[in-house]
Structure 1
Amino acid sequence: MTTPSTTPGPDEPAPLRPGRKLGPIADNVGSAHRYWLDPTRARYLATGRTLSDLSFRVHLAKSKLSELLRGVGHYPRWEVIHSLAGELGIPGWPLYRLWRQAALDAGKTSDWVDRSSSNAVITDPPGPPLAHGALRAIVIDDYRRYAGAFLPDDARDAAVEDTFAILWLSFDDALASPDTRRYAWEILRATVKARADHRDHRPLLAKAAFETVALHRQTTLEGEMAQLAESLELFAAISRLPDAQLDVIVLRRLCGFSAAKVSDLLGIPLAAVRSDERHAIRFLEDTIELPDTGGTTP
């Protein structure tokens, strides 16, 4: 992601703006809307430009621009977002994907989306930064395995594609973070959790119950029903784990990845993976009797 010349360096504070400070994002803004709104606001705040300046350039009243950047009022048309992205140096392709999905989630029809974007052609190159593309090629299948434990196939694929779109929009921040892999994984986790079914504010793993090795080993209806009940109990317990332990257990016990692969995928030390797995298993053993799911590699 190319940083515009008006963006301060990493150790340089953004210039002070005259006028009223931009308010926070409204509480009722949904997760899909935030996927593109958060990086757009971050880019605006980093440039040091004023709402008055941008208002003149994107042909939108300052009050309306402030509402747009806070997620207040009507969902914005792509023509406006496209113009704003051009002024702030935000790549159009990932922004459009996230804007479109949020529009549909907000109840807008496909016809409205098409009309809203008919006069705003994306002209920037469709390819992401090389490092982004390299990371995607390495981890995309593993990301799909993880997301598939929580989501049906269509939602799984959409969550993974949204993850890479969000990562593209914030790739400068990813590169500046202590570990790009960890930065990307946290986006994936948040995106998957936002789409998953929940109970008591925790993501459910019900889909994985139908795909365990133990379940497929059963040859009778009674055996299948008994194993399904055990699996559902297990996955309900797993869903109560802290995020780090949940990730490790899903990757180790449901996806079958080695501890070393999990370490590399999450961008955390191997010792942290083993510690999280030990604590998670101890909790699960205290909660239920763990079934045999076929084992994992070391």
Structure 2
Amino acid sequence: MASMSYDRHCAEIVAQTALLRTRLDDADLSAPVPTCPGWTLAQLVRHLGGAHRWAETIIRTRAAEPVPDDLVNDVSGHPDVDAATLGAWLTDGAEQLADALRTAGPDAPVWTVAPGGTPAFWARRMTHETVVHRADATFVAAQAPGGSAGADRPFAVVEDVAVDALDEWMSFGSLPVVRETTPRIADVMGRGHTLRFQATDAAPEAAADWLIALEADAPTWHRPPSPALSPPPPLSASVERGDPHERGGAPDALAAPATTTVRGALSDLLLLVYGRIPTRGAAPAPVGAGTGPVEIRGDVPLLDAWLHAVSFWLRE
């Protein structure tokens, strides 16, 4: 279950797009995107605008079967388009998607690429798709001559948006297909290994502390309950449902040391799981909003193996 409301997701799609569009001001659209090898800034924008339009088609038509994703994968577009025109096209697609989502409501049956089957899935997914690609555009700005654009406006995400984005990531990572898609992850599952992600800049009520247990069948994850949220269901109810996300569950596990612990600013944790900053070495540019580097303690190869497995859907 998303920690943000459906209406908020609809609004954030437009808001995050507007923030990304500011990165196009005076930008070189032919500049390479260091975090998306092979793409220019213009191609990044076309990909995101295509994703918005693809999702809008699914919602508007109440698609019950997969919809061709040519709009997402074809980033050729018109090579001579200017930033103002491309930015207006991007905004238009985001607004169309938000309008379609609001018209449909959160519960209408539609096809989704992962468990969900409602517009609520797409509202959340497109929110965080936009957030992450806004980070990509920030990396481009940071590597412009002098790097002033990135330094003046580092990438940052509002706390509840970042928490929801990481919740979504953990949910994808708990799908059984993780083991099926990446056989090598089986070598580290079912051995009692755990990974923990702790935000160093979040308010206590955000409960920005995630524990992943690499169970034999599929990873599971836990996050302690937030005082701002309704009380979670009893742990037994979650277990009986097979719910991989047991909010408030596994208190003993949360207290025990993890095999690998990752600590950093929320924005930086998000960049790390999405592969935008590495687990080793320097990032392409200092665009994170944190005050220091991400700190990793424990088994780094285990973290790398888990990140590779969980990101299977990014490679599809």
Quick one: higher RCO (CA 8 Å, sep 6+), 1 or 2? 2
Could you say which structure has the higher helix fraction?
1
Q: TM-score range by the shorter chain?
A: under 0.3
Taking structure 2 as the reference length, what is the TM-score of the superposition? 0.25
Could you say which structure has the higher strand fraction?
2
* Larger CA Rg, structure 1 vs 2: 1
